[in-house]
Amino acid sequence: MRVPERPTLEGLESKWSAVWDRDGTYSFDRSAPRERVFSIDTPPPTVSGSLHVGHVFSYTHTDAVARYHRMQGREVFYPMGWDDNGLPTERRVQNHFGVRCDPSVPYDPTFEPPAEPSEKEPVAISRPNFVELCLRLTESDERAFEALWRTLGLSVDWTLTYTTIGPRAQRISQRSFLGLLARGAAYQLEAPTLWDVDFQTAVAQAELEDRERPGAMHQVRFSAKGGGDAVIETTRPELIPACVALLAHPDDERHAALVGGEALTPLFGTTVPVLSHPLVERDKGTGLVMVCTFGDLTDVTWWRELSLPVRPVLAPDGRLAEVPWGSPGWESADLERARASYGELSGRSINQARRRIVELLEESGDLLGEPQPVNRAVKFYEKGDRPIEIITSRQWFIRTIEHKQELIEAGRKLRWHPPYMRARYEDWVNGLTGDWCVSRQRFFGVPFPIWYPLDAEGNAIYANPIGAAADELPVDPSTDVPDGYAPEQRGQPGGFTADPDVMDTWATSSLTPQIAGQAGEDQALFEKVFPMDVRPQAHDIIRTWLFTTVLRSQLDEGELPWANAAISGWVLDPDRKKMSKSKGNVVTPMHLLEEHGADAVRYWAASGRPGTDTAFDSKQMKVGRKLAVKLLNASKFALADLPPQAEELAHPLDRAMIGRLATLVADAEESFEDYDYARALQRTEEVFWWYCDNYLELVKGRRYDAAPEIYGPVSRALRISLSVFQRLLAPFLPFVSEEVWSWWQQGSVHRAAWPLAAELRAAAVVGGQSELEELALEVTAEVLAEVRKAKSQAQRPMRAPVARLLVRDTQERLQALALGAGDLRQAGSIERLETEHAEEPSVEVELGEQG
């Protein structure tokens, strides 16, 4: 036993993380049988941001659970992943190196980025070169992240680390995609697609968010073919040239005469049908709306259900495209005017075109009244700056809609923590309106392992995609060549061309269980860890990460990817707002850990219940630090120069205390099994402070007694109880727990066995009078509190002698008190203890003379 003179928390992080690394304390032993494995589908943090307090918060939750299961004797599969795939990295690389990805540029193995990067005139480089730069940049980020996680004390096995852009992730993503394609679960289609005009890529429904934006409602006059006006209201007059129909509600009598007829668009003279549809909102505006291809998602619905033609005007860059007026589909009652009007709009951005067409409509008299300002929700790509448009393009989709019911059932089989989070998943699945668009017109992602043959004219034959051979994965079709073709045939008539797109970042991260478990690469390992025990994640990505992982697992494995979903909340500013970027950057996690210590920060994090948003609170970290210091000092008191222990417990108070521990252990265990680490911590902490303030004070006399029959049993009680507290606190305060454990035990506390409630219970009832002894502990502590109160009110020190203490109470409680009387007298410096039977308990304290 080696107990330091002045124990301290300083330096414990670096000391113990080095030891854990050296000893492989958290190594996953793959020889363990499947039923003993506990596997975690760790969320891979995006390396292109910075880690913030929210990460520290939620990763601590998972770590506490992981440590608990490890102490239960399970082999914990706890990998870390880095999400370096996707747009955020791409943007950083462009700015950092002054480059731009152009998939048509050939790979240059000797390429070096410009010495003086220019954001204005970036160098065009091949996709493989671009990916190399992404990897170069993310590598240093990943080292910094790992250092933070080690300081925080995450018990991950660092040999299992993966990245979402690494070869393994690419191989598994491409293999999965080719499988989906072969089974018809993935398909390609030219269709209206959600489109970001700045990034110039398709995006998925799950990546949209609503933002309130000011707009204006314009009343615009169309002329009915049979004579008279048809007045519509729109916030997007620039789409009048893309108008394909006018619609009224079927029950709207105001427009009944128009329905079934035709109307002419203003300025362009295009003939459009007037139809009816129940989705039209009668009480909005005039009750008459125009359908354009495409102004919003409702337009797509109307277009599809009413089999309307396409009259696209928006180019992928968000400007109005050239339009062939006079050709089929672009007929006009007044071609000259249509061409002249459109000439004013062509080439302009959406906003410019809107301003110009309003002027034109005013001049022609077709704009009625002043545009009315309105605030409305506009859909944005969550990373974008301009509203989403809908543009027809060729994209890859994964079938989703037809699996809705199956997905809902899967969600019901999953155990959610907390349970109400399932509703978010189910709402999302129920609200899905289309299959999952997985192709992105970006560069730093996993490419589709697909080429297309070119016909004699050099046109791609999309109906006959050429998939990469399984043993050649991963491929980059922009530089690799499909089987049966020569490199020179790229782009040549009769040759081949690459699919230019990459997969949606979620299309890769939806496979994290397979990537971490190495599906198809190390199948024996995969079968050991899949389906995983738990997916920990935050609630904001239930509709994306959680949903898509369930979908992919259903499609590829035919089962749920995990048994449990542990959903964490967010960290909020003290003013209850979502933690802002600026604030999160000021309070960097490393600074927090340095200021308060890792155990203290973990304590704060672990007190946030599953699923519950928690306010950032440095006061809680100070409380955590106090707890860690208390564990140091209580351990020092109990263990330093601890006399030899007896074989058995002998004192009623000792046995009763051990009985309380038995209850605590069972309680903490039950909470942990239900992923409620916060409750486990709260209970443990509560009992630990009670133990320090009452039990330790009561037994001091016996602990220092000279007689072996006195100190032997109490020495045993102290060993048992300290050992239990050190282990119960280990999942939360891994550093200080390991420190105090090392004073007197072999091996790591984090590989020690979780205490057995039944064993403690058995030790506690040896005397056979456990109920009376429990009462003894309770009554003794209560009377001691009365003594302290009297001293406190008399403003005397706690060691001030009590000349006489009179306790009045029931027979039973007095009988119990007799069992603790010796300890009470010593702890309260009580010279004379008298008792008297009474129905109403009371205590009289006569303090000794002062001085």
Partner RNA sequence: GGGCGCGUAGCUCAGUGGGAGAGCGCUCGCUUCACACGCGAGAGGUCGCAGGUUCGAAACCCGCCGCGCCCA
**812 binding RNA? (CB under 7 A):** no
**262 binding RNA? (CB under 7 A):** no
Which of residues 127 and 679 has its CB atom nearest to RNA in the complex?
679
**409 binding RNA? (CB under 7 A):** no
**23 binding RNA? (CB under 7 A):** no
Contact 504, 440 (CB under 8 A): yes
Which of residues 481 and 785 has its CB atom nearest to RNA in the complex?
785
The DSSP H or E segment spanning 757 is helix 757-764
In the complex, minimum distance from the CB of residue 39 to RNA, in angstroms, rounded to a whole number: 28
Q: What is the largest CA-CA distance in the chain?
A: 115
Whole-angstrom distance between the N-terminal and C-terminal Cα of the chain?
Answer: 40
Size of the site for RNA (CB under 7 A): 58
Contact 264, 223 (CB under 8 A): yes
Nearest residue to 21 via CA among 754, 728, 748: 748
In the complex, minimum distance from the CB of residue 192 to RNA, in angstroms, rounded to a whole number: 16
**823 binding RNA? (CB under 7 A):** no
**696 binding RNA? (CB under 7 A):** yes
Q: Which stretch binds RNA (CB under 7 A): 56-64, 466-474, 570-578, 760-768?
A: 570-578
Between β-strands 614-615 and 571-572, what pairing exists: parallel, antiparallel or unpaired?
parallel
Neighbours of 241 (CB within 10 A): 26
Contact 819, 771 (CB under 8 A): no
> Using N-to-C axis directions, what is the helix angle for 547-556 and 404-413, rounded to 10°?
110
338 — alpha (psi -120 to 50), left (phi > 0) or beta? Answer: alpha
**For residues 259 and 251, what is the distance between their CA atoms, to the nearest angstrom?**
11
Outline where 382-482 has alpha helix (H). Answer: 404-413, 422-431
**For residues 188 and 394, what is the distance between their CA atoms, to the nearest angstrom?**
7
Which of residues 314 and 718 has its CB atom nearest to RNA in the complex?
718
- The correct pick among 633, 663, 742, 770 for binding RNA (CB under 7 A) is 633
**670 binding RNA? (CB under 7 A):** no
**For residues 756 and 669, what is the distance between their CA atoms, to the nearest angstrom?**
10
> Which 3 state secondary structure label does DSSP give 225?
coil
Which of residues 415 and 578 has its CB atom nearest to RNA in the complex?
578
- The correct pick among 242, 515, 565, 634 for binding RNA (CB under 7 A) is 634
**For residues 292 and 303, what is the distance between their CA atoms, to the nearest angstrom?**
8
- The correct pick among 221, 578, 719, 804 for binding RNA (CB under 7 A) is 578
- The correct pick among 707, 795, 839, 849 for binding RNA (CB under 7 A) is 795
**625 binding RNA? (CB under 7 A):** yes
- The correct pick among 427, 594, 648, 673 for binding RNA (CB under 7 A) is 427
- The correct pick among 14, 372, 523, 792 for binding RNA (CB under 7 A) is 792
Which CA distances in Å does 74 have to 28, 69, 292? Answer: 10, 6, 59
- Rounded to the nearest angstrom, the gap between the alpha carbon of residue 781 and the centroid of all alpha carbons in its chain is 45
Contact 221, 366 (CB under 8 A): yes
**543 binding RNA? (CB under 7 A):** yes
Which CA distances in Å does 489 have to 486, 493, 614? Answer: 6, 8, 59
Neighbours of 407 (CB within 10 A): 21
How would you list the strands of the sheet with 436-437, edge to edge?
Answer: 201-202, 186-196, 389-398, 436-437
Q: Which stretch binds RNA (CB under 7 A): 112-120, 233-241, 630-638, 816-824?
A: 630-638
Nearest residue to 600 via CA among 151, 250, 294: 151
Which of residues 339 and 788 has its CB atom nearest to RNA in the complex?
788
**424 binding RNA? (CB under 7 A):** yes
- The two tokens of residue 254 are 């105001």
Please name the amino acid found at residue 547.
F
Which of residues 359 and 540 has its CB atom nearest to RNA in the complex?
540
**613 binding RNA? (CB under 7 A):** yes
Q: Which stretch binds RNA (CB under 7 A): 61-69, 397-405, 690-698, 757-765?
A: 690-698
In the complex, minimum distance from the CB of residue 612 to RNA, in angstroms, rounded to a whole number: 6
- The correct pick among 100, 282, 348, 788 for binding RNA (CB under 7 A) is 788
Sign of CA dihedral 500, 502, 503, 504: negative
Contact 416, 550 (CB under 8 A): no
Q: Which stretch binds RNA (CB under 7 A): 204-212, 232-240, 404-412, 471-479?
A: 204-212
**315 binding RNA? (CB under 7 A):** no
> Which 3 state secondary structure label does DSSP give 823?
helix
- The correct pick among 789, 803, 811, 838 for binding RNA (CB under 7 A) is 789
**797 binding RNA? (CB under 7 A):** yes
**842 binding RNA? (CB under 7 A):** no
358 to 397: interface string for RNA, x by CB under 7 A: -------------------x--------------------
**2 binding RNA? (CB under 7 A):** no
**557 binding RNA? (CB under 7 A):** no
Q: Which stretch binds RNA (CB under 7 A): 195-203, 351-359, 535-543, 805-813?
A: 535-543
Q: Which stretch binds RNA (CB under 7 A): 51-59, 276-284, 405-413, 606-614?
A: 606-614
Strand partners, 376: 213
**679 binding RNA? (CB under 7 A):** yes
**614 binding RNA? (CB under 7 A):** yes
Contact 66, 76 (CB under 8 A): yes
Residues that bind RNA (CB under 7 A): 8-9, 205, 208-210, 377, 420, 423-424, 427-428, 431, 539-540, 543, 574, 576-578, 609, 612-615, 617, 619-620, 623, 625-626, 629-630, 633-634, 636-637, 640, 679, 682, 686, 689, 692-693, 696-697, 700, 785, 788-789, 791-793, 795-799
